[in-house]
Amino acid sequence: MFALLNSLKAMTLRPTFAAFDVRDPDDVTDAINQPNIDIDENGSPVTLPAAEWLICFVPGLYPQWWHRFAHKKHKHVFAIRKLDDNSWLLVEPWWTRLMVNVLTFEEAGRFLRWGATGHVLKVREAIPGRGTQLRGWSNCAVLMAFLLGRSYWAWTPQGLYRRLLKDTSVETVDPGQLLSEPFRAIGNRTDFALKLSIASQQASPEQALSLRESA
């Protein structure tokens, strides 16, 4: 069993294995049936830059029987990244499904508060990636490694955390810094709304309308 596992690990380290293509270039039938879509060098219809994710290693939200065997603060892991000032993209591996949603500003803040209770790493995804689908059990750690295009053989959040820390391109995020940006922006919005309300009360009706339209 160990010999087989070591063989599989060695296979994932080969550069050609992650991009293994079972199509036969000489197969005329396959070429005829191929859709006429332009693709880039990585086989994608669109070329997108590698995104930076906040990988959050967190305690559980409610007790599970297997938590006693896990790291104190690394019982689960999820990924989140900012899209713009008002939305964030969440990839959350639940036990029963993979939750992929765009969150509002306030919803993202709730996940960031959860992230701040553990440890957070800023990781740039690898394109085209070196992961493989021959991983078997798809728990949260395995899915996060696959999302990032890593070929890590780590089945626990703690194992993934230790592997990512060895990557010199990975940054450690301070929990205070993690929370400061969203809540500072919320405070700025509140201050702006308060100042706008005061200015509108002190201005003439025509000036107040102009202020609201410019906001």
Ranges of each domain in the chain: 2-15+45-173, 177-214
pTM equals 0.69
What would the pLDDT profile of 44-90 be if each residue is shown by its tens digit? 888 889 999 999 999 988 777 667 767 778 899 999 999 998 899 99
Q: Please, which residues bridge with residue 104 across strands? A: 87
On the 0-12 / 13-18 / 19+ scale of CB atoms within 10 A, 41 is: exposed
Per-residue DSSP letter, 127: S
The span from the CA of 133 to the CA of 65, in Å, is 28
What would the pLDDT profile of 27-40 be if each residue is shown by its tens digit? 555 555 667 888 87
